[in-house]
Every structure is written in C-alpha cells, then in structure tokens.
Structure 1
Amino acid sequence: MIIVDDEPKLRLGLQTLIPWRDLGFEVIGTAAGGHEALRIFEETIPDVLLVDIRMPGMDGLELLQEIRQGGWSSHVIILSGYADFEYARQALQLGVEAYLLKPVNKEELSASLQKIHEQLSNVQKKSLLQKTNTPEWILYSLLTGNSASEDSILGEWSDSFEASWKTFQILLIGFSGSHQEESEQIHNFKDVLSRTYASDRQGIVLYFAPYIVLLLGDPPVGELGWSELHKNLQLLSGELRFEMDVAIGQPVRSLDEIIHSFRTARSLLERSFFYDRGRMLTEETPETYQKEIVQTSVLSLSNKEEEAFRLHYLVDVGHASAISSFLNEIALQQAANQADEKEIRDRFFYLANETVRKIHSRVWSLSGYPGEPAQFLAEVYHSRYIRDLVDRISVVMERLARCADYNSKDNEMKRLLDYIDRHYGDNLRLEMLAVLFNYSSSYLGQLFKSYTGEYFNAYLDRIRIQKAKELLAQDMKVYEVAERVGYSNVNYFYTKFKKLEGESPSFYQKKE
C-alpha cells in the first residue's frame, strides 16, 4: 500500500487509523504529490494506491492516468473532499476500486480494502497453481523464501528436475548500464540461456529482476572451466547493446543453502564498480584498487580542495606525465578509506569539474575533445567502473596539459613564478606548492629564496600589492580590491599595503 496526499496530518492519520496488518496490507511508502508517487513506482510497484484527488502539481487523476499509461495494474482507492460527479466519472473510467469522501470513514475504507485483498489473494492462488512444480518456480521460491514448506519444495524439486546434482552454484548476470526500454533484450537473452543450459539439464535459468540467475548443477571445475563458461556467456550476449556483469556465488551442497550462494554473487555485483571491466567476479577476484593501508608518503593531501588545486596546477603548467599517477593515488587512498561508490564518483567529478571550470576555453578547444565540457563531466559521473572513471579523467586532463604554453625543459621555478603571477588571488601556501614539486616546504623555500632573492611570503605580498595598485587605479572599492588579490581581512591588507608603499590604499587611490 502507498498513501498519496498533500496533507501531512492526513497521511499520518491514515497510517495509524487503519489496522493495515489485520487487513493483510503493509504501508510501504507515502507521498505528498503525484510526481513523488511516480518516483516510488519506479522502484516498487504497490498492490494498492490510496490517493487524494486534489493535490498541487500532479493531482490524483493525472497520477492515475500516468500509472495506467505505464502499464501498472495497481488497485486504486480515491479520496476526495468533494462529491463531484465529474471527478467520480473520470476516476471510474480509469479503473478505481472505490471513490470515498473525506473525512475518511474507517469502516467504509476497511470494507474496500477487504474486497481488494480477496481479489489479490485469488489472483495469487491462481498464479501459484499455474507455476508450481516447475524448476524455475521452485528456484524462485527458494530465493525469496516464499515456499510454504521447505521439505515439500525440496521434494517437488527432486520430482521435477535433476536429482543427481551433488553441488549447486549461483551465477548472476547484472545489467547496470541498461535502460527500461532495453528490458526486452534482457528477456530475449534469458530465453537464449534457457535453451542453452536448461534444455540439456546443465542448469536452470530465471529472470529475478534486475538479474538473470543461472543455477548450475555440478558447475565447472577450475579456472579454465569458468573461463570457458564466461566466454560462452559473452558469445550468447552478442545482440545486447549494453554491457553485462557476471558474478559467481560460493558452491553449496544442498538446495536449502542456495540462498547463500545467491547473496554472495549479488554482493559482488553490487560492488562491480570497484572491479575491472569484463572480469568474472568471485570472492577471490581482486578489486581494482586494493583496500590496503596507504603510507602517508604516498599521498599527503588530505582533502578534495587541495587535490583539486594540485590537479589544476598539473594541467595549468603542462605536467601531463604526472596526472595519471596522481589520480591513481587518490583512487588508492579512497579505497583505503573504504569510500563507497557515490563518494568516489562525487570526489572525482569535483576534481574534474574544478579543473575544467578554471582552464581557459582556448585550452579546451585545443585539446581535441569531441564535445563540450558538460558532456565530458556527464561521462565522468556515469562511468561504470572505477578504472574507467580514473582513466577517462586522466586522458582528458593530459590532453589539456599538453595544450599549455610550456615544454618539458622549462625551469620549475619559472613555472612556479608564472603560476603565482596568474593565481595570486588564491589561497597560496608554500606547503601546498611544495607538495606539487614533491619537495619539503623548507627545501622549496630555500630554492625560492635562492632564485628570487626573496622569501616566498614577501614575494607573494609584493605581487599582490602591485596587482592591488592596478585595481585601485580603476576606482574599485578598497575591500573589493583586498578580496580580489587574496586578502580576506581588509585590515591586514591595509597593513601590508602601507608597509610596502608607505601610504594607505585610500590615500593612494585619491592621489591617483
């Protein structure tokens, strides 16, 4: 049961007013409007929908039209605060079970629910009679735990299929890259597998949304046997326009343990993002980036802002050769921190977006990428595997880096000074720049002093104040200039300006 009403008090009241469990129902969700209800339908199709007819946005009748056009056959009870004949007529045309007026009468609603429950029970019994005793239905019962008696279901298995199997193993096929309109292809693929494996009694094939389940009796032995099976599956899937992931659960000795093999395979598929493309997944398959302890010397950056700063720097100064190893270090660190798939996607999307946002449009056009930055960022976020995610960013970032106005013979100090000259308004710190050059901050400080004759902070202040003078001459407000050149504290800006120029920013601006 799903309850849809824009009044929070009524939604809560309906959940507590009606003895749902006594009537054989469970409220699995509530929604404040039609659009929210449709999002629930995308994940779970309820048996019954209890919906208000008048709601802002998509009303109850519009919701019902969407449901019927989508082919969903859920039973519907309409609630309305108006005894309007036209509403009732339209509702009845869309196949509602009852049209009840507010305030809700408990007995009247309960009677409608009892009638619907009886109809659902009759349909379920008829379906069971049609499906019982087939190997597919028995397998489905074992996987869902819906078998009324374990002993009887195992007995039916022995009578209906191959009783000589001594070992059982679940192979799951997932299609995380597929779309709703491609479901027909998946079912066709399932039929091909059935003709291949079930017809000669090698296994049982079942579509157990969103997976295809292949139960193997006496499964292959050794790595070579599984490799051959994997190749066969790939050949049979030739007509599919999208990729599939394959995972194997552990072998079990009895039918009542099949659920454990299934759960193992399912957990592997749910983590397919962390494995290399095209691998048959087992409990022994190594993840792309092992979740091992990473030494702090491998990656000393601690947050995504510093990582984004470094990636942009590598691109901006043309260090193409360092980009791939840098991104792989981040992925390794994320694995060590046990970050989940969403966290990793969000982190790498942030890094790519920050870099693309800061580079000049000319550099992007020179990179030769066949599309706009938005297309690249979408491809980054929807990469199916972590290796693809890292590699896709690496390739594009390296292209951008090679378009920078540098060559490999440029002096590192020249690069550093040019970077400071172009990014003086950022929160530049010697410690952060030292990470980019793989130096200690003290050693880089010595190099900097030797090359420029100034300490880093003194040099940065001089550059900033010089830029500030140019902006003040353009009649910008003092606090705006301070922020533009990298001083968040305007009083600190006053102090630095007066120290270097011998007069306040305001006096300098008036003089100019």
Structure 2
Amino acid sequence: MYKVLIVDDEPKQREGLKMFIEWENYGFSVVDTASNGEEALEKYRMYSPELVIADIRMPGMDGLQLIERLREEDPQLHILILSGYADFEYAKKAITNRTDGYLLKPVDEDELIQYLHRIKQMIDEAKKTSLWQNVSKEWTREAFIQSILSGSMEHDEFTLHEQADRLGLLWRKYQILLVVSPKDEKGATNEVNVLRRKLSARFEECGRGYVFSHQGYVGVLLQEPLLEVEHDDVYQELQGSGIAEFTVVLGERVKDLSDIPLSYTSALELIKLQFFFDRGRILSGELLSKLRSHTADREAEEKCTNNAEEQLYYAVEVGNLDAIKQLVVEFGHTLIRRHFSEGEIKQRYVELLTLIHGRELKQRPELQSQSKGYCDRVADIYRVRTIGDMFEQVESLLRSIASPLNEDTGRHREVRIMLDLIHRNFRDNLKLETLSGIFNYNSAYLGKLFKNETGEYFNTYLDKVRIENAKEYLEEGLKVYQVAEKVGYTNVDYFHTKFRKYVGTSPSAYRKKAGNE
C-alpha cells in the first residue's frame, strides 16, 4: 500500500478528499493531512509518502514553493497539484517542477483514479527495478518473498522451486501474517524494527516462518497455518512490544509457492475491513467469511434503518441512556448486514447525529452553547479506527444532549415523559410502537398505562393536542393547509375530519369566525 499525504489549507477540502474514494482499492492509503507547506514538509519527513497531493494556493508557503522543497529532498517523489484556479501559468510552473498532474476543484473522481492507476504503475516498476538490482548480488529469503508478492518473479516454475529449495522455503503449506500499526504515529521506523524482532523471536527462531517487510507492512511467511488456539498468545506477545495500537491479519492458507500472493491479497482485504472487527484479536479469513455470509431480510433491514433517526431522537428526548446505547449498536449492525462500506457507515452516523442535534436545538435552545464542540466531535467520527470505537463516540455524543427527563423516578414516570414528548413533538409522526421500544414495554401495555393515567387513548390525546394548537394557528391567520402541515397532518381532508370531530366546525369556518377572513 503506497502512502499519500494531502495538503490543503481548507479543512473541508482535506477531509473531503480523504473520504472521496476508497484509496485502498487503488493501492494507496492516506497516512495524514497537512494544512500548510511547513506542516507538509514536517509530515513528509515523518512518513516518507510516495505521493503528495497539494493545493497550489495556500497562505505562507504555497504549493509551488512546497514542491520545490520536496524536490530537493526527493527527486523521485510523485506529486499532484490541486487547485480551484484554472491558471495556465501555474500549470506551466507545476510542469516545470515535474509534477505528475494538475487537478481542478471540484475534483473529478475518474480523473483522480486515472492518475492513481498511472502513478501506482510507475512506482511498481521502479520498485521492481530496485528490487532486482539489490538481489542480483545476493539472493536473500526476504528479497525472494518480496519478489513473489510484488509479481516480479519471472522465472519458470522449475527455477522458482529450485530457488525456494535452496533458501529453505519449499514447504507443503504457506500462510501470510501481516501486522499493521497506525499510520499517524511518530517513530514508524522504530515500530517496524520492534515488530520484526518480536515476530522473528516467535517464528524464525523456531523455524516456523520468515519475517519480511513489504509495501509498508511487516509480515511473516508461515510454514504451517497459525492455529486458532495460538491467536491470543501471539497477539499478547505483540502487545508486550510497547506499540500502542496495531492490527494482526492472517491470509488464506495455500499449498503452492505461486499461490502465496493469494494469501497476501486476502490479508490485505482483511486490513481494509479491520474497521468492522473488535480490537484485541487476530483477524482471519474465517471472520471474513462470517461477515460476508450473512443474508438479511432487505425490506426489514431497510425499514429498521429508516426508523433509526426517529427511535434515537425519542430516546434522546426522553433521556433513556440504555435505549440510546442499544439503538446505536443495532443501527450499525443493520448497516453491516446491508453491506455498507466503512465510509458509508460513518457518513450515515454523521448525518444521523447532525439531524438529531438539529431537532434537539429546536426544542432546547440552551444546547446552542455547546454546538461547536458537538460538531467538532461529530467530525471526529471519520477518524475512528473500529466500529466499536465509533459506537462509543456516537453514544457519548447523544448522551451529551440527552434530555434530563430520565431523572424523573416517580410513579408512572413513563406517562409524564410521554405527555411532555407529545406537547413538544406533536408535529412529528408519533407512534405508540416507536415509543414502546424506548421504554422497553410492548405497545399494548404502554397504551393501557397511558389511558389509565390520562383517561384518553394515546392517539386520541395526540389528536386533541394537535387540534388545540391548530386552533391557535388558525386564530393567527394561517391558511388551513399550512395549519394541517404544522400540526402533523399530511392529508388536509383528514385534518378537516379530525378538526370537525373535536371542535364541531370546519377549520375554515373557525378561521373565519376568529376574524381572519
């Protein structure tokens, strides 16, 4: 996986481009972003990316000055210019500085992908040439493994097996193990060395495999597949390395040298899916199979997804923290079953959090003072590493704006909360079935509880509250269809029927009597 650094002084542009495409599908990974030229130089030295995408116009050190500095440090670095200005003079300067291309904002997805394909091919070719130059003098096990994984092994099968036999790599079975540490931590080189030592002590010294580095990953070519009972032991050993966070993945088991790339590819696929798994375990093909094999009732799952906003909003409204936690997790699992990608899931949660916050602000203006902090934390959703971390972040955000109504612990508190909910949300499509889930009761029991306490059925009480508010709007001079919409009736004729039932006259006649016609 080749590393990409994005440089732009606009936060939305930086984060937007980072989430714009599934970079891993094209052989790249965004290791970090920078907001100016100086920060870009610092992060370039930290990560040594193969590709830098830089805005041409930035305060201080602009894109062209940054390119000149980068070229002094690495003449082979690949660079794409990003700009909102179709400026030919800037384009000529960029070409002079040997950039790989010039992208105009808004970025065209197909054009960016074409550049990535071309740049990856150039990097691959350069690495193959470099690799063969290095191994031509002394053929090492690691270089042999790297050449197989990179596809640069051009010998026939007999020669391939002959070389493997000479290096002690002609085995009955093979499996790739990869270890990935976060790309945004400092001291990456030191981490690689620590991981290599740990893996070498665990596998090389007892003849179970050989350690290698490839495309930024540290891995082991295993002679025999790693048994499931060993997973926890291996993971705990790596935990003792002092590295804060890492992911371990196992590729498929294969029987021939030529199939080793298949094991490596399946391991890479798991790395791309690590967001979906819990921390603290080795990810294997068996887990991937379970993730993919689930078949869902699409209609039921879609209904559950569409109801998520309403259910979570009311859970926040009534301050039911247990329901918030449960619904946050259920919504995520539903999206997984519907095969949403990591980016799509994060986007849905951001939209959900934004919508619920907006609705809460209308009901409770006092929340406005904490809106900026809330929105900043919502943006952090895009940076979480696992779905479990995301659940915790989303739950924490919703708890921070949850209503204090849950503090009511008296008799029939549920009914008092429901009454408050109706009076503040009568415009919504309130349903007893939705609220019953929030209170962990079945709808029949909750309806009975409500009627015993208020003397009215839930829907009857809701209608009466709506009609009382409708009378006020009509007295203010609003049109009948406007009033119907404002109090929660999407069908004007149905509103007429309800109004006449409870008031004894039509809405238009009531409006006229109030002196508005």
TM-score range normalised by the length of the shorter chain: 0.5 to 0.7
Distance 2:125 2:387 in 1: 46
> Which residue number in structure 1 is paired with residue 163 of structure 2?
156
* 1:410-454 CA distance string (max 9 Å, x none): 523332222111101112234444554566656655555554444
CA contact (8 A) 1:138 1:153 kept: no
> Could you say what secondary structure the match of 2:405 adopts?
coil
Measure, in 1, the Cα distance between the counterparts of 2:72 and 2:498.
69
**Residue 213 of structure 2 aligns with which residue?**
207
- Whether 1:131 aligns to 2:138 is no
Number of the residue aligned with 2:151: 145
1:281-360 matched pairs, under 5 angstroms? 281-285=283-287, 302-359=303-360
Q: Write the letter of the residue equivalent to 1:144.
A: S
Bigger drift between 460-469 and 470-479 goes to 470-479
Give, in whole Å, the separation in 2 of the partners of 1:356 and 1:200: 57
Pair 1:403–1:71, CA change in 2 (3 A): farther
SS at match of 1:205: strand
Q: Which has the higher helix share?
A: 2
Task: Output aligned runs, 1:408-419, within 5 Å.
Answer: 408-411=409-412, 412-419=414-421
Give the structure-1-normalised TM-score. 0.65
3-state DSSP of counterpart to 1:372: helix
Q: State the secondary structure of the residue aligned to 2:310.
A: helix
The alignment yields a C-alpha RMSD, in angstroms, of 5.3
Letter in 2 for 1:387: G
1:404 CA drift (Å): 2.9
User: Aligned residue for 1:111?
Assistant: none
Q: 2:515: which partner in 1?
A: 510
1:73 aligns with 2:76: yes
Please list every run of 5 or more consecutive structure 2 residues that lacks an aligned counterpart in the other structure. 1-26, 28-46, 57-61, 80-86, 101-120
Structure 1 residues 409, 339: closer, same or farther in 2, change over 3 A?
Answer: farther
Deviations 1:20-42 (A, max 9, x none): xxxxxxxx9xxxxxxxxxxxxx9
**Cα distance change on mapping 1:219 and 1:337 into 2, 3 Å:** closer
Alignment of 1:362-511 (within 5 A): 372-398=373-399, 400-401=401-402, 403-404=404-405, 406-411=407-412, 412-437=414-439, 448-474=450-476, 479-490=481-492, 493=495, 496-497=498-499, 499-501=501-503, 502=505, 504=508, 505-510=510-515
Contact 2:308 2:327 in 1 (8 A): no
Residues 143 and 95 from structure 1, CA distance in 2 versus in 1: closer, same or farther, beyond 3 angstroms? closer
Offset of 1:493 from its aligned partner? 4.3
C-alpha spacing 1:153/1:371, structure 2 compared with 1 (3 Å): farther
Q: Deviations over 1:63-99 (max 9, x none)?
A: 97597479462699xxxxx999x997x57863589xx
Is 1:173 the counterpart of 2:179? The answer is yes
Cα–Cα, structure 1 residues 127 and 338, in superposed 2: closer, same or farther, change >3 Å? closer
Name the CA distance, whole Å, in 1 between partners of 2:127 and 2:262.
30
Distance in 2 separating the partners of 1:301 and 1:70: 52
Once residues 389 and 286 of structure 2 are traced to their aligned partners in structure 1, the CA distance between those partners, rounded to angstroms, is: 21
Pair 126,466 (structure 1): closer, same or farther in 2 beyond 3 Å: closer
- Does residue 94 (structure 1) correspond to residue 97 (structure 2)? The answer is yes
- The alignment partner of 2:222 has SS state of strand
Cα displacement (A) at 1:148: 0.8
Q: Distance in 2 between matches of 1:346 and 1:401?
A: 22
State the TM-score, normalizing by the size of structure 2: 0.65
